[in-house]
Amino acid sequence: MNNRTHRAFKADIYTQFARVTKALSNPHRLELIDLLAQGERTVEDLAREADLSIANASQHLQELRIAHLVSVRREGLYAYYRLADENVFRVWQAVRELGEARLSEIERVRRTYLQARETLEAIDSAELLARMNKNDVTLLDVRPVEEYRAGHIGGAISAPVKEIESFLRKLPKRKEIIAYCRGPYCVFSDEAVALLRARGYKARRLATGFPDWRAAGLPVEAHGTM
């Protein structure tokens, strides 16, 4: 390979890798990836969750699709998007962890908006798994029910945060309750734990969320109900 061919090769290969980083270089697209890590969703669902117009959400999804980060299937009038594979979430997870390590602004934003979290003790995945093996915790998935049905931590009860009041009478007070949601920047579990504690339950939140648990190869289930 002569120098000219060598440089052409390098230009071509890094251009292809840059397609991935270009697709990720938008906050709305990162949020869409975070949402799709919970399971397959329609454009309309994603637009609502991300507070985007349907047209804007569609445009961002097309950018992700061009980079082969998401795939789509059509059913009647609806388009259902999902992550192309588990590696897409792992890339987002790596970006998230790198940002937390290198950008002090992330900690500033977290402290600004998640001040109440400082009083809510978290549990990590390893401790939770050990407690689950001893059967001495009640595990609540406080995400929307469609996300629970797409996949959840093995043994978790579906108790969407907006409906959690109706589940209180079913929860034993003798066991500690652990609530989890979409990830470290999802506040559903914070809200659930605060409410449970106000009602006299011993409760903590999982420090991460379902996609991180699944990516670690820990036990998951799908299509369960309470």
Sheet containing 78-83: give its strands across: 41-42, 78-83, 70-75
Active site (annotated) includes residue 181:
yes
CA 13 – CA 3 distance, rounded (Å) = 15
CA gyration radius, the chain? 20
Pairwise CA distance, residues 202 & 133, whole Å? 19
Q: Residue 172 CA to chain centroid, in angstroms?
A: 27
Of 24, 88, 156, 181, the active-site residue reads 181
Report, as residue numbers or ranges, the catalytic residues: 181
